[in-house]
Chain A
Amino acid sequence: MIVVTGATKGLGAAIVKRLTSKGHDMFGIARNTANLSVEGMSCDVSSYEQVKTVAQHLKKKGVTVDAVVNAAGIGSMNLAVTTPPAVTQNIIQTNLFGTIYCSQLFAPLMLRRKQGVIINFSTIAVALGLKGESIYTASKAGVEGFSRAFAREMADFNVRVNCIAPGPINTNLLKGVSDTQIQKIVSQQIIPKQFVPSDVCDLVELLVDKRARSLSGQVLNVGGS
Chain B
Amino acid sequence: MTLNETIKFIKMKIKESLKQDGVKASVNSKMPLIGNDSALDSMMLIGLCLALEDRARDEFEFDWTSETAMSKSRSMFRSVHSLAEEFIKQQRAQQ
Chain B residues near A127: list those with CB within 8 A.
none
B78 CB to nearest A CB, Å: 20
Interface of A is mostly: helix
How big is the A interface, by class? 10 to 19
Contact (Cβ within 8 A) B65 A156: no
What total of chain B residues lie within 8 Å of the partner, measured CB to CB?
8
B65 and A108 contact, CB distance less than 8 A: yes
Contact partners of A104 in chain B: CB under 8 A: 65
- Most chain-A Cβ atoms within 10 A of its Cβ — which of B42, B46, B61? B46
The distance in angstroms between the C-alpha atoms of A133 and B16, with both chains bound, is: 51
Contact B65 A157 (CB under 8 A): no
The docked-state distance in angstroms from the alpha carbon of A198 to that of B50 is 38
Contact sample, A vs B, 19 pairs, CB 8 Å cutoff = A52-B65, A55-B65, A56-B61, A56-B63, A59-B61, A60-B61, A104-B65, A105-B65, A108-B46, A108-B64, A108-B65, A111-B46, A111-B50, A112-B50, A153-B42, A156-B42, A156-B43, A157-B43, A157-B46
A residues whose Cβ falls under 8 Å from a Cβ of B:
52, 55-56, 59-60, 104-105, 108, 111-112, 153, 156-157
